[in-house]
Amino acid sequence: MWTTVILLFSAMAIYEFVVRFLAYKSQGLPVPANLRGIYDSETYSKRSAYGKEKLRLITIEHVCVSLVTLAFLLSNIHSVLFYHIGQFTSNMYLQALFMLGVVILISQVIKTVFAAAQTFKVEAKYGFNKSSARTFVSDRIREFLIMHVGLFLGMVTLFLFLHNLLGDAVFVAFFFIFVLLEIVLRAFTVFFMGGKHKPLEDGPFKEKVKALLVKAEYPVDRIFVSDDSKRTSKPNAGCIGFGKSRAVLVGDNFFDSERYGEDDVLSAIAHEIGHAKGYHVLWSIPLRLVMWVVLVVMAYFVVNSGAVSTAFGFAELNIAFGVYVLLIFFKPVWLLFDIPMNAQSHAHEFAADSFEARMVGKRAAISSKKKGARDNFENLTPHPFVALVINTHPSLARRIANIERSV
């Protein structure tokens, strides 16, 4: 079992390295004919340099985190931490939280160092970063508390509690917990996002947005502007939530009149309405539910396996460590699901683009896409394999060709 875990972890680390290498090699290739004019030659060279510099830093971060995690596994650090805290408390929840918390904290410190370099060196160098040190630290703490303390460690604690209470029925219970979590995260997205959101001010532009909502037959009263400019110069928009919780969210970078006009903002909103009216979030759930079923079945065999725990220094079955190893086993399965999920996501993007073109016209839709790609320094020549298994959006060349064909 020890060999299986180590080889599986190493294989996935190598795979992720190869994917990033392919993405790196695709930077700066000749631009497709329908995208010429987005960048002049000097700007395109700068964009390629940005893409390569960003990927180099991401790759170095990945290698560092992978080596540290591998060192933890090889040195049985999890069992060492577990038995160390066991000298001070016999509470199984505190033992599990200490064992996993220390490992997660060390990994997050490494990631935070690289995130700071990415934000204040690479993003700043190319004019994208608007985040202050205070905002950066605040966002990282928020992310750590929500994603790692609240979700991961919180879910591990809940799993241990229900395992004691329900036995193996906990795996069925957790399937429904995952389903509920999917619904909550999507219904209340705004509460899990960083930054502040304020209502769009009354005025002529708000009336245009309302007119677009009426034309699109998408009745929404809540239209927010997010303070994205405190973090980045890149534009963004979205339709979030569903039912009474749904709202339109527009990043304030879209209101930079030197870069964007009102038509660009309306195009971005129309695109997001296309996603919402197509129920793309809901259509993505069935495939994710199948993935959760596979995860629960795998969990039954991995988490309950005493051989997993004893292979890494534990005297007996350790449920919390089993959950940790489960994530290693599930990574290649997640990869297999990424391919159909990305294919579905690409189809949804094409559908939203076509809807956008019907609402604001093809010319406005294409212009908005090109401006967004220009200001985001989007890679115009992604590697086909990376586009298949990693990128949730189709290449810009394919999206524009789809808009030109749309009715």
In a structure prediction context, what are the per-residue pLDDT tens digits for the chain, which is 407 residues long?
899 999 999 999 999 999 999 999 998 888 888 888 888 888 888 888 998 999 999 999 999 999 999 999 999 999 999 999 999 999 999 999 999 999 999 999 999 999 999 999 999 988 888 888 888 898 888 888 888 888 888 889 999 999 999 998 999 998 888 888 777 766 555 555 556 778 888 899 889 989 998 999 988 878 888 887 777 777 788 777 666 667 788 888 888 777 888 899 899 999 989 988 888 888 888 888 898 899 899 999 999 999 999 999 999 999 999 999 999 999 898 888 888 999 999 999 999 999 999 999 999 999 999 988 888 888 889 998 988 888 888 999 999 999 998 86
How many other CB atoms sit within 10 Å of the CB of residue 123?
A: 20
pTM value is 0.82
pLDDT (0 to 100) of residue 11: 95
**d(Cα 350, Cα 396) in Å, to the nearest integer?**
11
**d(Cα 234, Cα 259) in Å, to the nearest integer?**
11
Backbone angles phi, psi at 370, to 5 degrees: -70, -40
Looking at the domain assignment, is residue 186 inside a domain?
A: yes
Which region, left, alpha or beta, applies to residue 361 given φ > 0 means left and ψ of -120 to 50 means alpha? left
pLDDT (0 to 100) of residue 402: 93
**d(Cα 77, Cα 69) in Å, to the nearest integer?**
10
Among 221, 309, 206, 306, which residue's Cα sits nearest to residue 265? 206
Looking at the domain assignment, is residue 224 inside a domain?
A: no
pLDDT (0 to 100) of residue 190: 52
Looking at the domain assignment, is residue 253 inside a domain?
A: no
**d(Cα 192, Cα 68) in Å, to the nearest integer?**
29
pLDDT (0 to 100) of residue 280: 85
Looking at the domain assignment, is residue 270 inside a domain?
A: no
Looking at the domain assignment, is residue 393 inside a domain?
A: yes
Structurally, the chain folds into a number of domains equal to 1
Looking at the domain assignment, is residue 41 inside a domain?
A: yes
CA separation (Å) from 57 to 10, 17, 19, 104, 116? 20, 12, 14, 21, 11
pLDDT (0 to 100) of residue 398: 93
Looking at the domain assignment, is residue 124 inside a domain?
A: yes
52: tokens are 């390569």
Domain interval for residue 321? 2-192+279-405
Looking at the domain assignment, is residue 312 inside a domain?
A: yes
Q: Average pLDDT, whole number, for the chain?
A: 88
